[in-house]
Amino acid sequence: MGIRLLMYLAVILLGTLIGARAKINKRLSGRLGSIQTACLLLLLLVMGIKIGMDKDVIDSFFSIGYSAIIISIFTVGFSILGVKLVSGYVTGGKS
């Protein structure tokens, strides 16, 4: 597990260095958002497949689903509240 964590951190550091130092083509720079969205959707698809293959998760889906919905609602709600509270300080009061 420790090696995977180091690998993830190394990949993030490499991406940061590439973004800060390298001159990325404007065409690629404009598509980074689309590439990021596509990768996120692929990650969610793979996670869904893995969840669907686990019979224990499927059998207890409703009890897990109820807890997940409650946690998700509170996470989104407090995230929005946190952004609203902090955004004034970060942007210097500008909208």
- pLDDT, tens digit, for every residue of 15-67? 888 888 777 777 777 888 899 999 999 999 999 899 889 888 888 877 778 88
Where b means 16+ CB within 10 Å and e means fewer, 43-73 reads eeeeeeeeeeeeeeeeeeeeeeeeeeeeeee
Q: How many domains does the chain have?
A: 2
Residues 47, 84 within the same domain: no
Residues 46, 6 within the same domain: yes
Residues 16, 31 within the same domain: yes
Q: What is the mean pLDDT of the chain?
A: 86
pLDDT tens-place string over residues 55-80: 888 888 777 788 888 999 999 999 99
- State whether the Cα torsion 29-35-36-37 is positive or negative: positive
pLDDT at 94: 66
Residues 39, 16 within the same domain: yes
3-class state of residue 16 by DSSP: helix
Domain that holds residue 77: 60-95
Residues 1, 35 within the same domain: yes
pLDDT at 22: 75
Residues 44, 70 within the same domain: no
Residues 39, 75 within the same domain: no
